[in-house]
Amino acid sequence: MGISILGAGCCLPQQEVDNHAFESFIETSDEWITTRTGIHCRRISDGILTYQMGAEAARQALKDADTAPEEIDMVLATTVTADTTTPSLACLAAAEVGIKTAPCMDLNAACTGFVYALDVAEKYLSTGSAKKILILSAEMMSRIVNFKDRSSCVLFGDGAAAVVVGPSDKMYHSWLACNLDGRYKIFSKATNSENPFRKKDFDWPEEVAEMQPGLMEMAGNEVYRFATQAMPEAVQRCCEKAGFTPEQLDRIIPHQANLRIIRTALKHLGLPEEKVHINIQHYGNISSACIPLSLCEMKRAGELHPGDKICLVGFGSGLTYGAAVLEW
Ligand code: UT7
């Protein structure tokens, strides 16, 4: 049993922020950001909420899939930057598009979220528990980015993308993992309410004790090293499960964290850049929304053809990583 992507949609905030815009408040340059990351621009929310971006992406995906809201059996949302702790992003976005009773839940696997969600969806579809599932990935990274930290604030952007998936007999395989030794390497503490009963500070592990709640901190170099080996490993292992080699893939859709990470991963795999969809220059890193956004762009551009073997591969906080290969 496999999975069929029936429709896709996306939504990006209107505000476009180029690298020069950072030069006025941190010590950086367009040249540094471009050469070290490949990023030229990103979109940053000027008021639109995460669930509103998710809902717009979902609306487009439903339309593209020619699917009515009532036909959706489940909504899976992926995010690390929901507007609310409760209810879920999935509930808020689904209600906006007219879904009334389908089960809705959020899944947090950071930037690997879409790959994880696709895998969960495939399990529901393959058992017949669901016929159509809406997966929406929406992120407002600007909500947790520390704009005083030049090594991370230039990397991220906001946006959302969604797909409607259904069962199919086409090929599908996945390989998911975590490297939990790296769990503190990309970290953002929850904020806390005032509480008259708590007299002491929380006893956080010393690695993260000094971090400020609500802001993200990242050990960039260590994540970089992890990513350059994790992405090739995930692609290789997933292809192994599928019974072919990475060279036999037609397209690779990687998480967009740094152009240099993508290029190094490709080099390890011995694959040419033409097989890879790259849009980091326009949007930066939108966490779990990167991969479905690429899917949406490629689908709209007619770049995916029936029978193509495509590989989605991501890594992120956790440190989660993983890949899925599917036939288009
Ligand atoms: O979804 C997953 C999330 N995260 C990632 O994927 C991040 C992975 N890591 C990376 O992409 C890279 O490690 C970074 C882009 C974060 C950093 O690039 P790098 O080439 O590894 O630079 P570096 O950290 O080794 O820093 C080199 C220099 C340092 O200055 P000194 O100490 O050599 O004087 C940094 O302070 O570059 C400096 N630097 C900057 N300079 C100008 C760091 N950020 C900036 C900046 N502008 N924005």
pLDDT tens digits for 24-50? 999 999 999 999 999 999 999 999 999
Cβ(220) to ligand 1 under 6 A? yes
Mutate to test the pocket of ligand 1, among 147, 224, 286, 313 (most ligand atoms within 8 A of CB): 224
Nearest to 314 by CA among 140, 118, 114, 84: 114
131-145 per-position pLDDT tens digit = 999 999 999 999 999
Burial 253-273 (b: 16+ CB within 10 A, else e): bbbbbbbebbebbbebbebee
The type of residue at 225 is R
Give the Cβ contact number of residue 305 at 10 Å: 10
Residues involved in catalysis: 111, 255, 285
Query: Atom 14 in ligand 1: which residue has the minimum CA distance?
Result: 220
Q: What is the mean pLDDT of the chain?
A: 97
Is the bond into 62 cis (omega within 30 degrees of 0)? no
Q: What residues contact residue 239 under an 8 Å CB cut-off, 6+ apart?
A: 245, 246, 248, 249, 311, 325
> Would you list the DSSP string of 26-38?
SS--HHHHHHHH-
67-102 per-position pLDDT tens digit = 999 999 999 999 999 999 999 999 999 999 999 999
- Distance from residue 210's CA to the centre of ligand 1 (Å): 21
Q: Is residue 215 very low, low, confident or very high in pLDDT (cuts 50, 70, 90)?
A: very high
Q: pTM score, two decimals?
A: 0.97
- Distance from residue 152's CA to the centre of ligand 1 (Å): 7
Question: Which atom of ligand 1 is least distant from the CA of 152?
Answer: 16
Quick check: 122 and 91 in contact, CB under 8 A? no
